[in-house]
Amino acid sequence: MAGFIARRLASAVLLLFATSVVVFAIFEVIPSYNPARAIAGREATAVTVAQITQKFGFDKPFYVQYFNTMKLIFTGQIIDYQDNLNVVSQFVHRFPVTLSLVVPAAVIWMLVAIVLGSISALRAGGWLDRGLTVAAVTGVSIPVFLLSATLLYLFAFRLPWFPNTGYVQFGSNPAQWAYHLVLPWLAIAVLFIGFYSRVLRSNALDIVNQDFVRTARAKGLTGRQVFIRHVLRNSLMPIVTLFGLDFATLLGGAALVTEAVFNLPGIGQYEANAIGQLDVPPIMVGAMFTAFFVVLFSALSDVVYALLDPRIRISS
Amino acid sequence: MTEQLLEIEDLEVSFATEDGVLRAVGGVSFTVSRGETVAIVGESGSGKSVTVMTLMGLTRSPNARFAGTARLHGEDLVSAPEDKLEAIRGKEIAMIFQDPISALSPVHRVGAQIAEQILAHEKIPRAAALERAIELMGRVGIPNARARARSYPHEFSGGMRQRVMIAMALSLSPSVLIADEPTTALDVTIQAQILDEIRQLSAEADNGVIFVTHDLGVVADIADRVLVMYAGRLVEQGSVDDIFYDPQHPYTWGLLGSVPRVDRDPPRRLPAIPGAPPSLLRPPPGCPFQPRCPHAFDRCRELPPLAPRLPDAGHLDRCWLTPDDKRALRETDGRIGLTEGAAS
Amino acid sequence: MGAVGITMPAASSALAPEGRQPAAVGPWRLALRRLRRNYVALFFLAVLVVIVLLCLLAPVYSAHVAGTGPNTNNITGTVSVNGTQQDIVSLSGVPIGPTWGSHYLLGADTNGRDLAVRLLYGGRTSLLIGAVATVIIMILGTLVGLLAGYFRGVVDFILRPLMELIWSFPVVILGVALGTALALGGIGPIKGNSLYIPAVIIGVVYIPYVGKPIRGEVLRLREQDFIDAARVQGMGSWRIMFSELLPNVSSTVIVFLPLILANSILLEAYLSFLGAGVQAPKASWGTLISDGLSFIQSTPTYSLIPGAMLVLTVLSVNVVGDGVRDALDPRAQVRVRG
């Protein structure tokens, strides 16, 4: 167990390091990228630009800049170029919004996907299964930005059922908080429901033909008992790993378009703005933030997998 | 008069596939009585597994079609609704499967799996069911049962896993036990132990056993009566002595003839039945064995009925040849076999 | 179905003439046969072909129907709608909606360009980028998987963490950052607004999604006896990889191809939507959706029609992909009439 943790920690550190280097390097590639000018603004004079260059050390070699940036990040002092805000504190403040978006959406999509995938598997080949499969494939074919825009248009403008944008804190008004988040939750959930229900269906159909399911039926268990205790249990195992990665990237701000369209002040929105302005510090912190979650959740999902499948436990 | 537990009449099973209708079992009839072990012999594709799985209702699917009846204690299993079957499975009729490593759930503990069978039919506390499971494991010869009940299937050896399956199947003392090639996946030495176990336990329980196998050695060891299946049909049926000493069907001769004998010089080539089993999609009319039978004649284009042609009403076969012809044709070089002059 | 032991006898069995067997068919022919019976997949394949043809015929449409090109600005012009002349772009800057006539069929954008023409040309761009990216991903991904899985050792030591890094990197950040960065300055001799840049970016981002599974399969396959047999026969490593391993992973490759194509088209739309993909004045479905967002209330068709084309295309690719997968590996394919 200690060895497992140690190995994971080591690969986490390595991944974070590599991520930060890659992001930094990407911006070195652009010949016309001039962060000093971006900070100075449109009207700046050459003198201002030169001053800023010196102040931020943009004229220093790559590795020096990198080292300085990393130092600033880890001491929590890094500021973004656009608005001179402290990046780390921005992330901290905006994280609850992203959490409010991602966690309930994840719960919704997993529950619905399990139910729909199970129904599809149990009635495989029938019209219900075909219908659900069509719906699932369609869900996977709609890009999130289009779905967000369409949902906003249909249910906030054409039919004013939902507020169009903005975020209400949970603490101040839970009902409004949820009301403002329903459409964004839907926008995220649809894609994942489509994907996960198909994965579950596929796994379940594989499992259903295995010998131990036949034994379970031969024991006289009811169809439902067989399905839940044996088929579902085994079908969910690969899904755990997939979910870990998706959830991690979402926490890191992958839902940035949804946040942008619905004007939710989360991490994604911050990252989206930064990317648009080529504002390196938030992008770096964002990438590392995501990498951190990826490592954390992939380790967690490995642990859960081992809990579910005793064969893995023994061999590792 | 021993009690007749299971009565199968004209059982037919077919499956709709992409390439047409596949007739897996055609017109099979037999009975199983209390205290009796019936062996079903045949090669792969003969329909023996489909027959016994159908008794348990495990072949039901949207593509399957059934005809005929299989009465257990008078109640038909073939047409029974699913919930009725769920109550019967595991309790009145239970099954031991061929490959215990894949037949046991890999993620549940062994004791819990046996208890699950008990709990499916009896409303007792979990702890009580587990206690019974441990006791059953001890009875089938698993040492240190209490500790081992907490282990997972992959932590057992093949023979031990099969004992777990036996314990599970017998946990509710079913009237009929079906064993579908339970020793095929095991070493020969373990095979003998498992057969002993099954024989002893069913004697104690005084139930009826259906033993599916392709191994004639096992048949000779354990069976009271033997059913020979070919291409989905029963071609011969009789007591184990009848089948081994007075076989009436050419296919049975071929099976017996292909077994090397200890008391003879080994033949230069192992005699095999020439040809291959027919397609079950478009079965040829008439006797299913006719294309491969060296003794076939024009009457064989018509399917022979399964009937006793000897004074013994318990010995039936599906061959038009007269009993005298059969006795003349089946011996080659002093031993029963199918091809003439193959053993030399 | 473990219950039925079906024998597939060789065609050379001696049998009575009435009992004929179905001829033995290889796995590829079998798959093709199944695919041909899958009417839904065939329908969507037809839809896909129609869409591709329409986009390829963009120049024809532009010249003969719309009378204008995809980049021809026409802010001050007018178009005749139901007899009356209307401004293409109103004085307040709002472009005209669909005329459902041959000129400006779907309306105009803020520069007075014909949206229908841009839709078709944009489709060409989106499909082209998606296709090029797919080719890059499938070829490089398979190659990387083969190399890393077969040679292991040093090669794997480099390739595997590289794949892990790209794979764990948020697609969003990687793709958008690269896209924005390279759109500005280009890379080497390739200009910033070249279509190859989004294609290469998408290619790089998705390589691990093919490389990792292929590597896993190769690791499994190389332990099997037929590889030992090939080595004993004296086959060199490269020959083993390409004539023994590659055919065995080919069904995985074929299953992945439509998936990758669908995702590449989606990623291109995503990047273009955010401005990190196709650059103005070129059009792609993503840029059109993005442009149309500002007018979503007055002229929803501006965004939604390119959106619908995008969804329809990706849907078709996905359905055909499903059909291919089912044809190669049918599972509980039930409900057969009989």
Amino acid in position C140 = L
pLDDT of residue C131: 94
Q: Higher-confidence residue: C11 or B28? A: B28
pLDDT in tens, C108-138: 888 878 888 889 999 999 999 999 999 999 9
pLDDT band at C13 (very low <50, low <70, confident <90, very high): very low
pLDDT of residue C125: 92
pLDDT above 90: percentage of residues in chain A:
22
Q: Higher-confidence residue: A174 or C145? A: C145
The CA distance from B99 to the nearest CA of chain A, in Å, is: 8
Average pLDDT over residues A45-50: 76
What DSSP line would sit under A76-125, residue for residue?
A: T--B-TTT--BHHHHHHHHHHHHHHHHHHHHHHHHHHHHHHHHHHHHTTT
pLDDT of residue C18: 38
Q: Is there a contact between A48 and A315 (Cβ–Cβ < 8 Å)?
A: no
pLDDT of residue A316: 42
The reply to whether A71 touches chain B by the CB within 8 Å rule is no
pLDDT of residue C313: 95
Q: Is there a contact between C278 and C198 (Cβ–Cβ < 8 Å)?
A: yes
* Pairwise CB contact (< 8 Å): A211 & B152: no
The answer on pLDDT for C260 being more than 90 is yes
SS3 content of chain A, % helix, strand, coil (to 5): 80, 0, 20
pLDDT in tens, A220-279: 999 889 999 999 988 888 898 889 888 988 898 888 889 988 888 999 888 888 877 777
The answer on pLDDT for C24 being more than 70 is no
pLDDT of residue C330: 63
pLDDT in tens, A139-198: 999 999 899 988 888 888 778 777 777 777 777 788 888 888 888 999 999 999 999 999
Buried b (16+ CB within 10 A) or exposed e, A205-228: bbbbebbbbbbbbbbbbeeebbbe
Of C3, C13, C34, the CB nearest to B275: C13
* Pairwise CB contact (< 8 Å): A220 & B82: no
So what's the ipTM on this one?
0.85
Measured over all CA atoms, what is the biggest interatomic distance in chain B, rounded to whole angstroms? 67
pLDDT of residue B342: 38
The CA distance from B283 to the nearest CA of chain C, in Å, is: 6
Q: Is there a contact between C13 and C21 (Cβ–Cβ < 8 Å)?
A: yes
Q: How far apart are CA B331 and CA B241, in angstroms?
A: 17
Q: How far apart are CA A305 and CA A236, in angstroms?
A: 9
Torsion of CA B155, B157, B161, B163, to 10 degrees: -130
Q: Judged by CB atoms within 8 Å, which residues 175-234 of A form the interface with C?
A: 205-206, 208-209, 211, 214
Q: How far apart are CA C305 and CA C311, in angstroms?
A: 10
The reply to whether C169 touches chain A by the CB within 8 Å rule is yes
Q: For residue A225, list chain B residues with Cβ-Cβ distance below 8 A.
A: 120
pLDDT band at C219 (very low <50, low <70, confident <90, very high): confident
pLDDT of residue A32: 57
The reply to whether C172 touches chain A by the CB within 8 Å rule is yes
The answer on pLDDT for C89 being more than 50 is yes
Whether pTM exceeds 0.90: no
Q: What is the residue whose two structure tokens read 């009271």?
A: B224
Q: How far apart are CA A183 and CA A193, in angstroms?
A: 15
Of A26, A256, A290, the CB nearest to C181: A26
The reply to whether C82 touches chain A by the CB within 8 Å rule is no
pLDDT of residue C7: 26
The reply to whether A224 touches chain B by the CB within 8 Å rule is no
The CA distance from A244 to the nearest CA of chain C, in Å, is: 11
* Pairwise CB contact (< 8 Å): B284 & C338: no
What chains are in contact with B, requiring at least 3 Cβ pairs below 8 Å? A, C
The CA distance from A172 to the nearest CA of chain C, in Å, is: 31
pLDDT of residue C184: 66
pLDDT of residue A176: 82
- B58 Cβ contact partners less than 8 Å away, ≥ 6 residues apart: A214, A217, A218, C3
Q: For residue B15, list chain C residues with Cβ-Cβ distance below 8 A.
A: 1, 4
Q: For residue A137, list chain C residues with Cβ-Cβ distance below 8 A.
A: 315, 318-319, 322
DSSP reduced 3-state for C112: coil
The reply to whether A287 touches chain C by the CB within 8 Å rule is yes
Lowest-pLDDT range, A283-292, B245-254, C184-193, C260-269?
A: C184-193
pLDDT in tens, C147-180: 988 888 888 888 888 888 888 777 777 787 777 7
Q: How far apart are CA A30 and CA C186, in angstroms?
A: 7
The reply to whether A225 touches chain B by the CB within 8 Å rule is yes
Query: What stretch of H or E contains C79?
Result: strand C78-81
Of C4, C15, C22, the CB nearest to B24: C4
Suggest the residue from C20, C38, C326, C336 to mutate for an interface test with chain B (most B CBs closer than 10 A).
Answer: C336
Average pLDDT over residues C207-228: 87
* Pairwise CB contact (< 8 Å): A219 & B152: no
pLDDT of residue C334: 41
Q: Mean pLDDT per 10-residue run, chain B (344 residues)?
A: 85 87 90 93 88 92 91 91 91 91 91 94 93 92 92 90 92 93 86 88 90 90 93 92 89 84 75 80 82 84 83 86 84 70 37
The answer on pLDDT for C3 being more than 50 is no
pLDDT in tens, C274-300: 878 888 788 899 999 988 888 887 888
* Pairwise CB contact (< 8 Å): C275 & A31: no
Q: Higher-confidence residue: A309 or A43? A: A309
Mean pLDDT of chain C: 80
Tokens of A100: 């409010």
Suggest the residue from A212, A233, A237, A312 to mutate for an interface test with chain B (most B CBs closer than 10 A).
Answer: A212
Strand boundaries in chain B, DSSP class E:
4-17, 20-33, 37-41, 64-72, 75-76, 93-96, 176-180, 208-213, 225-230, 233-239, 316-317, 331-332, 335-336
